[in-house]
Amino acid sequence: DTEVTQTPKHLVMGMTNKKSLKCEQHMGHRAMYWYKQKAKKPPELMFVYSYEKLSINESVPSRFSPECPNSSLLNLHLHALQPEDSALYLCASSPSAPGNTIYFGEGSWLTVV
């Protein structure tokens, strides 16, 4: 069982809504990630936080806003999304150093209507 917990499992939102995806890990990992995965495609990196600081932003549109309140929590705030943003959003974590093994949560299925 994954030790990275994501909520909600499923989310349907309108294009004018504001919602958030939440992620929590208790493995003491110091790097946390958001990935986006479309059907039949590999995961695409969106953001990386290292020691609670934003380390990588893969040129993600500003309608996606990450937040890392502490070393165990990671949020993704969603606003004014488009239908093409519908996807599986995966949170992941890894120990502190780059190149360490990344462990994924179960994901949040997002549908934008």
Partner 1 sequence: QKEVEQNSGPLSVPEGAIASLNCTYSDRGSQSFFWYRQYSGKSPELIMFIYSNGDKEDGRFTAQLNKASQYVSLLIRDSQPSDSATYLCAVAMDSSYKLIFGSGTRLLVRP
Distance between CA atoms of 28 and 95, rounded to whole angstroms? 7
How many CB atoms are located within 10 Å of the residue 92 CB? 25
Among 41, 57, 61, 82, binds partner 1 (CB under 8 A): 41
**Which of 2, 17, 65, 71 touches partner 1 (CB under 8 A)?**
2
Total residues contacting partner 1 by CB under 8 A comes to 25
Sign of CA dihedral 38, 57, 22, 29: positive
Q: Which residues bind partner 1 (CB under 8 A)?
A: 2, 31, 33, 41-43, 45, 48, 50, 55-56, 88, 90, 94, 97-107
